[in-house]
Structure 1
Amino acid sequence: MEEMSTDKLAVLIDADNAQASVISELLEEIAKFGITNIKRAYGDWTTTQLKSWKDHLHTHAIQPIQQFSYTNGKNATDSSLIIDAMDILHENRLDGFCIISSDSDFTRLATRIRESGLKVYGFGEQKTPEAFISACDKFVYTENLREIKEVPQTNNEQNRLKDIITKAVIAVSDDDDWANLSAVVKHINKNYPSFDPRTYGYDKYGKLMKSLDYLELNEIPFNKNRNVHIFIRVID
């Protein structure tokens, strides 16, 4: 069983640019990374555009932060979130931040937080700009928080998957070309923040690897409960 993290986290939601419909699943996902000490959602709550959020705020004890829209656009909400994040950062009492937005405006914020040695977990739709994704330690597509379905992949997507997997296996393999699955996963998470087996229709890395015909798997039991270490290598 995977050990849950006890890192203390701040969850900051750009309500103008996030989906209220996945908030329950999103908070369950965040629980994998740590304990949420702060939960805030930013937006102009006097408008009808955020009406769908209101029940979720009460249900999940999320504090709404009012930010009037002084000008057209979403800059006021973004600025309010960024200022709060920097204040929280300088209080020096947390281990990481979860930023929920599909907006690239938080790229510099994520970078600045990481420069201070804290983790940044991003959550947004697949339309999220690559700059923000790359600025996070881990980025989760909110589409993957819904029911997992096997999604047909284009040739380009399959080629990208193969490139990521084979490079990771080769990077951490031993002299016999075998690599421990856990080491492969760590390498992928470090180098590809948005990579997620759920994107390809599988809830676990092991299931994804077993589906790939260019990999060979070897499962080695290591205790009486029949738990196994999984080793993989690329088939020439």
Structure 2
Amino acid sequence: MASKPNAPRQQKHLAVLIDADNAPAAIVEGLFEEIAKYGIASVKRIYGDWTQPNLGGWKKVLLDHSIQPMQQFAYTKGKNATDSSLIIDAMDLLYTRRFDGFCLVSSDSDFTRLAVRLREEGLTVYGFGEQKTPKPFVSACDKFIYTEILRADAAEPPPEPTAAPAPGTSTEARSGDKPAAPVKAQKVPVDFIAKVLDDVADDEDDWVQLGVLGSNIGKLRPEFDPRLYGFKKLSELIKAQPRRFELETRESGSGGKDLYVRNRKPGK
């Protein structure tokens, strides 16, 4: 009797909650491409006062991406009722026990405690926000992705203006309609990576599997992303630092190949 093929690994079910007041619509393509790496976006909701013109950029893309708009009027001027509505819904979804993780899309530090609470329940929290996002919110997430990266990945370079705007056309772009700002490659934190390697190395040769290195870096710095330094993958970043790191390929027990890395020994 033929054995049954192994069942495919079940993907994580994620709830995606977007703060429309603190997230630009220009990220939408890259956002859901990124989320697809981590699981299935089972719930997609976006919160804001849809009677306001500043959310026009989001209105254009909601149907294309099956995002459910959640209306929240501003009851008091200067107070953000949207945050409270998102947090209440997040807790309601949490107690259904149907989700493996949450994607919180905002640059607002008001969601720091929400991220902590979700993680206390054993769920994975993915944060998405601009590089101006306060550090406490970034650190409260298991992984934090800066949306400038997503905008750069998804958007084509804007064409050079060739003519004056038509009469009556506003020259001020809404936050969701601004072209993607170029992401300037940051300096690779080689000293930090080297320290992590030293901390996790457990054999006499100091070799560490690349996946283990990436996992430990993410625990210490949720916002770490090779794309911030001009590389698509961690392996490419490591290869580009030959004076500091050694990289080698080994056969794995399953017939595949694994990458291992270690700090370069003095004199090599």
Q: Greater share of helix residues, 1 or 2?
A: 1
Deviation, 1:167, is 1.7
2:28 is aligned to 23
TM-score if structure 1 supplies the norm length?
A: 0.90
Q: Which amino acid aligns with 1:162?
A: V
Shift in alpha-carbon separation, 1:170–1:42, aligned structure 2, 3 A: same
CA drift of 1:175 comes to 1.7
Aligned counterpart for 1:163 among listed residues 191, 194, 197: 191
Q: Which residue of 2 aligns with 1:204?
A: 233
Per the TM alignment, residue 9 of structure 1 is displaced from its structure 2 partner at its CA by 0.8
Residue correspondence of structure 1 range 8-47 to structure 2 within 5 A:
8-47=13-52
State the alpha-carbon separation in 2 of the partners of residues 96 and 152 from structure 1. Answer: 30
Partner of 1:120: 125
Q: Which runs of 5+ in 1 are unaligned?
A: none
Alignment of 1:1-236 (within 5 A): 6-73=11-78, 75-147=80-152, 151-153=184-186, 157-158=187-188, 161-173=189-201, 174-212=203-241, 213-222=243-252, 228-235=257-264, 236=266
Please say which of residues 72-81 and 28-37 is displaced more in the overlay: 72-81
Greater radius of gyration (CA): 2
Q: Deviations over 1:169-201 (max 9, x none)?
A: 112212212111111011111221110000001
What is the letter of the counterpart of residue 70 of structure 1? Answer: Y
Shift of 1:223: 8.6
Alpha-carbon spacing, 1:5–1:163, altered in 2? closer, same or farther (3 Å)? farther
| Further displaced range: 211-220 or 20-29 | 211-220
Contact 1:10 1:94 in 2 (8 A): yes
Aligned residues: 228
Structure 1 residues 75-120: Cα deviation after superposition (integer angstroms, max 9, x where no partner):
2010110011111111211111100000100000000111111111
Distance 2:107 2:29 in 1: 18
CA RMSD of aligned residues (A): 2.1
Structure 2: unaligned runs, 5 residues or longer: 1-7, 154-181
* CA positional deviation for 1:152: 4.5
Aligned residues: percent identity?
54
Distance in 1 (CA, whole Å) between partners of 2:185 and 2:100 is 38
Code of the residue aligned with 2:100 in structure 1: it is D
